[in-house]
């Protein structure tokens, strides 16, 4: 779901964009417009710096189409029901993420991540399209003929920076900053509670994903990795690196061991090696397995949610796994 290679330079861009999001709320102007955004029609037109160059949005968007799940989390977080969207990248069928279902009444499925239905998108008469280059760089020109199209460089690791860009495009900088700050404060509290319950030492947390034909151990430069850093929790040696992931064979599954192992499955389990791995002697010897600390989590949240709303659900899972208060205000 996430681009496999993310450079330190991209990390610097992410930091800069998050800084811009905070600055927007103090009136320094995160976009190329001047003045403080009020979320009103008066804030438009505005020009946004994107991965495809500057894009001008002539009026406050009201009919938004989103073509990836990070963008879906962003727009619904900011109080917008998109007129069109697609299901998670690797999901079966045409279902939107269950955790956003109640915010998508009337939203039309506009194809899949691999094959958005351009004619259907055009028929919805959007005034803004949101996605990223990883998914839709090749059809950017076609999308741009339909409506102003904002693409971020990638998804996953720079999710906070991407939220800043989505907020700029929608004239919702203040709302985004408030939601992000609340999440970060909560992540700190959840992490502190977990460390305190663990005798003052940060426990190790492993994130492992079964996919068709592959097994990934997620390291630090991805969506869940950022959340674990925000929570100040430790990672096992196999995942304690500023990289996206470490792909392993079933014969190396014991490297996924930690105090708690969170496991997600990208597609139907029978299409993966999950059952074979979990019935193997090597799996049975893992400390987390012996201690009953292997926890299956929702792939649509931990892997493809990639936004503040999904991040708060990951914090729920962390708090529950370690038996601490959810710290929800």
Interval 43-85: pLDDT, tens: 999 999 999 999 999 999 999 999 999 999 999 999 999 999 9
What residues form DSSP beta bridges with 206? 261
Given a cut of 60, is residue 1 above it in pLDDT?
no
Given a cut of 60, is residue 32 above it in pLDDT?
no
Q: What is the average pLDDT across 277-288?
A: 97
Look at domain 186-322 and name its CATH class: alpha beta
Given a cut of 90, is residue 228 above it in pLDDT?
yes
Given a cut of 90, is residue 329 above it in pLDDT?
no
Distances (CA, A) of 199 to 193, 195, 210: 10, 7, 32
SS3 state of residue 85: strand
- Cβ atoms of 233 and 224 within 8 Å: the answer is no
pLDDT at 39: 60
At 322, which helix (H) or strand (E)? helix 308-322
Torsion (CA) 290, 296, 302, 303 in degrees, nearest 10: 100
Determine if the peptide bond prior to 45 is cis (ω within 30°). yes
Whole-number Å distance between alpha carbons of 150 and 125: 16
Instruction: At 23, list the tokens.
Output: 């600055």
pLDDT at 93: 60
Q: What is the average pLDDT across 173-181?
A: 98
Q: What is the mean pLDDT of the chain?
A: 89
Instruction: At 57, list the tokens.
Output: 């949005």
Contacts of 289 (CB under 8 A, 6+ apart): 261, 283
- Of all residues in the chain, what percent carry a pLDDT higher than 70? 87
For the chain, give every domain's residue range: 8-171, 186-322
For 115-121, which contacts have Cβ atoms below 8 Å and span 24 or more sequence positions?
Answer: 116/67, 116/86, 116/143, 118/142, 118/143, 118/146, 120/84, 121/65, 121/84, 121/146
For residue 214, give the DSSP letter.
E
Given a cut of 60, is residue 128 above it in pLDDT?
yes
Instruction: At 166, list the tokens.
Output: 């989505």
Q: What is the pLDDT of residues 133-176, one digit of tens each?
A: 999 999 999 999 999 999 999 999 999 999 999 999 999 999 99
Q: What is the average pLDDT across 265-281?
A: 95
SS3 state of residue 270: helix
Say which range, 47-51, 63-67, 88-92, 104-108, has the weakest mean pLDDT: 88-92
The order of strands in the sheet holding 294-296 is 245-248, 214-218, 205-211, 260-265, 294-296
Instruction: At 182, list the tokens.
Output: 């609340």
Instruction: At 118, list the tokens.
Output: 């351009």
Q: How many CA atoms lie within 13 A of 176 on its CB side?
A: 35
Given a cut of 90, is residue 291 above it in pLDDT?
yes
* Phi, psi angles (nearest 5°) of residue 215: -130, 130
pLDDT at 17: 47
Q: CA 86: distance to chain centroid?
A: 15
Whole-number Å distance between alpha carbons of 13 and 97: 28
- Identical fold, 8-171 and 186-322: yes
Contacts of 125 (CB under 8 A, 6+ apart): 63
pLDDT at 188: 98
Could you confirm whether domain 8-171 is CATH 3.40.50.1980? yes
Contacts of 286 (CB under 8 A, 6+ apart): 253, 254, 256, 257, 261, 294
- Cβ atoms of 232 and 204 within 8 Å: the answer is no
């Amino acid at each position: 779901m996430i681009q496999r290679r993310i450079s330190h330079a991209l990390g610097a861009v992410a930091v800069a964009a998050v800084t811009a999001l905070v600055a927007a709320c103090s009136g320094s102007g995160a976009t190329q417009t001047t003045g403080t955004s009020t979320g009103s029609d008066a804030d438009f037109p505005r020009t946004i710096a994107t991965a495809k160059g500057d894009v001008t949005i002539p009026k406050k968007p009201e009919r938004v189409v989103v073509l990836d799940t990070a963008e879906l989390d962003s727009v619904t977080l900011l109080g917008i029901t998109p007129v069109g969207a697609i299901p998670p990248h690797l999901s079966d069928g045409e279902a939107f993420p269950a955790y956003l279902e109640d915010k998508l009444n009337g939203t039309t499925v506009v194809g899949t991540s691999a094959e958005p239905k351009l004619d259907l998108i055009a028929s919805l008469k959007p005034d803004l399209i949101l996605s990223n280059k990883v998914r839709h760089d090749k059809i950017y020109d076609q999308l741009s003929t339909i409506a102003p199209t904002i693409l971020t460089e990638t998804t996953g690791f720079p999710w906070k920076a991407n939220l800043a860009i989505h907020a700029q495009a929608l004239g919702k900088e203040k709302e985004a900053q408030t939601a992000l700050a609340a999440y970060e404060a909560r992540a700190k509290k959840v992490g502190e509670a977990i460390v305190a319950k663990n005798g003052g030492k940060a426990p190790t947390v492993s994130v492992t994903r079964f996919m068709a034909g592959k097994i990934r151990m997620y390291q630090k430069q991805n969506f869940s990795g950022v959340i674990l850093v925000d929570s100040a929790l430790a990672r096992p040696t196999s995942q304690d690196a500023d990289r996206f992931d470490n792909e392993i064979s079933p014969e190396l599954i014991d490297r996924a061991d930690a105090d708690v192992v969170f496991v997600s499955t990208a597609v139907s389990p029978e299409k993966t090696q999950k059952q074979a791995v979990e019935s193997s002697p090597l799996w049975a010897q893992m400390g987390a397995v012996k201690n009953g600390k292997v926890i299956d989590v929702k792939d649509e949240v931990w892997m493809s949610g990639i936004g503040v709303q999904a991040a708060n659900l990951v914090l729920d899972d962390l708090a529950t796994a370690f038996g601490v208060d959810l710290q929800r205000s």
